[in-house]
Amino acid sequence: MIWNEEFETLPREALEALQLKRLKNLVERVYAAVPYYRKKMEEAGVRPGDIRELKDLRRLPFTTKEDLRLNYPFGLFAVPFEKVVRIHASSGTTGKPTVVGYTKSDIDSWAELMARTLSCGGAHKGDIVHNAYGYGLFTGGLGAHYGAERLGAAVIPISGGNSKRQIMIMQDFGSTVLMCTPSYALNLADVMKDMNVDPKTLKLRVGLFGAEPWSEKMREEIEKRLNISAIDIFGLSEVMGPGVASECIEEKHGLHVFEDFFIPEIINPETGEPLPPGERGELVFTTLTKEAFPVIRYRTKDLSRLIPEPCRCGRTFYRMERITGRTDDMLIIRGVNVFPSQIEHVLMSIEGVEPHYQIIVDREGALDIVEVQVEVSEEIFSDEVKVLETLARRIEREIKDLLGISCKIKLVEPKTIQRSEGKAKRVIDNRKL
């Protein structure tokens, strides 16, 4: 069901008129209120009055994580501090976190966006939403929570961790919608298996998964093992949190970007040039309505492409293809660009191979050495050495065929690869470059 028929099905022309109006207003607000943005615009030789059409967006400078870091913690807030009602932060991999703020109106928009997301994924009033996204500084928990309340569903604010208790509550409370990271969904499936809980006896119907990249194969795995429909949702705290884009249950192909709130662009990550719809590159967002923490052309480092073709669900918003990698977790191995998702794809195309793997990169002399650790499931295990060795060689060959790199497959015992209750750590790069 479409939560907000009026906006989500706007004809393209009306949508673009609305975007332009909001964009002009955004640039004026930011220029007036944030010295740092004003300075960047002046350096780029652009003033608010120069934004006359939507395509003038490309005249504005990009915003990067580095800009956010330089203004830690509140330097890019665009409203007087007494208007800020909420602060979130995302853990930085190095040093200080990225801090974002929300006004009352921002929180209200966010609830609207997450209600749309839930609705897009097939949830509705009367559902019991099992919200296993972490509550706290992370935007996932509270973002999903407010959206579920706005939708009129009953939220179980269970947060992450303690999987056995989560499953007991699913059984006893009759949770119908699951929200968590996709790797945590697989962790729940593992624990259910250990507890001898048959997912068919649960009331779960749909899961909305995000906050980390995952693959089509992983979706199949989750859908099969949890007996649900799995939906990919997207967001990032710098732009809003969850609620930036969502797949519709009708197509499950590409995530509708809520374009009345955000303008997506795809750029060439090396040159910064905007690419035409359909081409693959780095995803960039401009927030149109955010008050406390607006961003202009924020570079996400996520790789995607826009799908401009109409969708049968009736939403007119462009879809973005599921994230296929990040510009910065792209591994360069012996000069070849490799994304962990490509290796995952190979593994999951082999019957019985567990989606639990880890890629370890080392450097011996001048040579990059790649080891992929794969857990041995009961399905692929054999009492004969040659069967397991043949399997390992087959995976090596398929990775070589697809990616053009040689790697070594190491078979490991189940559950030796760290099962995160949050984001899965897929790559360990030990190279000192």
Task: Work out whether 389 is an interface residue with other proteins (CB under 8 A).
Answer: yes
Residue 399: partners with Cβ closer than 8 Å, 6 or more residues away: 343, 346, 372, 405, 407
Answer for the pair 205, 176: CB distance below 8 angstroms, yes or no: yes
Q: Which of residues 411-430 bind other proteins (CB under 8 A)?
A: 411-416
> Which among other proteins, Zn ion, none contacts residue 311 (Cβ within 5 to 8 A by kind)?
Zn ion
> Of the candidates 10, 128, 151, 311, which one interacts with Zn ion according to CB under 5 A?
311
Measured between its terminal Cα atoms, the distance across the chain in Å is 50
Tell me the two tokens of residue 349: 């195309």
Choosing from 376, 399, 403, 424, the residue that interacts with other proteins (CB under 8 A) is 376
26 binds Zn ion (CB under 5 A): no
The reply to whether 385 sits near other proteins by the rule CB under 8 A is: yes
How near is the Cβ of 124 to Zn ion at its closest, in Å?
A: 16
Binder of Zn ion out of 248, 267, 284, 407 (CB under 5 A): 248
Whole-number Å distance between alpha carbons of 21 and 99:
28
- Considering CB distances under 5 to 8 angstroms, the limit depending on partner class, which of Zn ion, other proteins, none binds residue 415? other proteins
Please tell me whether residue 352 binds other proteins under the rule CB under 8 A.
Answer: no
Rounded Cα–Cα distance for residues 120 and 177 (Å) = 13
Distance CA 250, CA 209 (A): 16
Size of the site for other proteins (CB under 8 A): 17
Minimum gap (Å) between residue 206 Cβ and other proteins: 31
390 scored as a contact of other proteins (CB under 8 A): no
Concatenated DSSP letters of 273-334: -B--TT-EEEEEEEESS-SSS--SSEEEEEEEEEE-S--TT---SPEEPPP-EETTT-EEET
Does residue 347 bind Zn ion (CB under 5 A)? no
313 binds, among Zn ion, other proteins, none (CB under 5 to 8 A by kind): Zn ion
Q: Is 17 helix (H, G, I), strand (E, B) or coil?
A: helix
Residues 273, 279, 283: CA angle, nearest 5 degrees:
60
User: Sign of torsion, CA 160 162 166 172?
Assistant: negative
Q: How far is the CB of 181 from other proteins (least distance, A)?
A: 23
Residue placing its CB nearer to other proteins in the complex, 125 or 410: 410
Q: Which residues bind other proteins (CB under 8 A)?
A: 376-378, 381-385, 388-389, 410-416
